[in-house]
Amino acid sequence: MDKFDRIYALHKLLSDARYPIPRTAIQKKLECSRSTFMRLVNTMRDYLGAPIEYNDNGWYYDSNGEHPYELPGLWFNAQELHALLAIHKLMHDLQPGLLDEQLKPVQKRIEHLLQSKHLGSGELTDRVRVLAMGVRTHADAFQKVAEGVLQRKRLKLHYHARGSNQTTQRTVSPQRLVHYRDNWYLDAWCHKRQALRNFSVDRIKQIKILEQRAEEVDQQTLQDYFADAYGIFSGKADHTAVLRFSPIAARWVAEERWHPRQEGEFLADGQYQLKLPYSNPKELIMDILKYGPDVEVVGPESLREAVREKLKLALGNYEASG
């Protein structure tokens, strides 16, 4: 009996009972230990608002003369529901062969939960959708990249960079896999550049796992390099973008999280000003451009000029054709 089944079973016991029920009788019915029983009680009290009380005779629901307590049909919050469905989708889309045997039991448990009668007997996956945008087909390299990361071995790559349209050969010490905006990336120490680099897994054209042990980079260094700046185009943040959004766009942007260290405020005229650190502006510029006339780059001037140039080039496409 899993946690959800026990919650429903305990709810039914207490709802149907005319008198308090001894703890030992409940434990026997639920097939659980005393500590498990107490965790269930605390969960139901703290997260589900269940009026569970105790006296010398046992445990019971205290309705205080009001309507009998009922469990909510679904007690996930938005983040928990997204996480559950995202895990299910990730495991469904996982490259064949990677940890198949180890992950099968986990996948079965998640599917059992999603198909549970407590969550609508399979309705959840039909009625709630998690849409992936901009997903790129993963290269066959994914499995070897993952093996290199987990086994701590160096990788020899033939990597095609979209920006330069060039293919280079690299030997890297893989540090970690990153799933970002529905695509996979590899954080690694590049022995060619003698520096940390980020690689899009779908652009790895050839890969070989080497016997040589991967060089280790401590977690704090990885965090400082890859997590400090805006987005996946990381590096130590050395600039702060100041963006000003129109009152209309502010309705959305004010509730969005662009960066863990962002600062935002509404201005007197209804505009919303957002400040955030960045290093490589490439991805930041893409996110700025999607707001079109509803955003202005206040600073720094280098970012303002880069966005202005992109807009000129875009306008040129239409002027040339018109």
Select from 50, 32, 30, 31 the least CA-distant residue to 42: 50
pLDDT at 218 over 80: yes
CB neighbours of 25 closer than 8 A, spacing ≥ 6? 58
Q: Which of 195-199, 231-235, 244-248, 301-305 has the lowest mean pLDDT?
A: 231-235
pLDDT, tens only, 284-322: 999 999 999 999 999 999 999 999 999 999 999 888 655
Quick one: pLDDT band at residue 110, thresholds 50, 70, 90?
low
Radius of gyration of the chain from Cα atoms? 27
pLDDT, tens only, 143-179: 889 889 989 999 999 999 887 889 999 999 999 988 8
Question: What domains are defined for the chain?
Answer: 3-61 (1.10.10.10), 78-127 (no CATH), 142-225 (2.30.30), 239-321 (no CATH)
What whole-number distance in Å separates Cα of residue 20 and Cα of residue 55?
8
Preceding omega of 300 cis (within 30 degrees of 0)? yes
Quick one: pLDDT band at residue 269, thresholds 50, 70, 90?
very high
What average pLDDT is seen over the chain?
83
Q: At residue 206, what are phi and psi to the nearest 5 degrees?
A: -140, 145
CB neighbours of 256 closer than 8 A, spacing ≥ 6? none
pLDDT, tens only, 169-206: 999 999 998 888 778 899 999 999 999 999 999 899 99
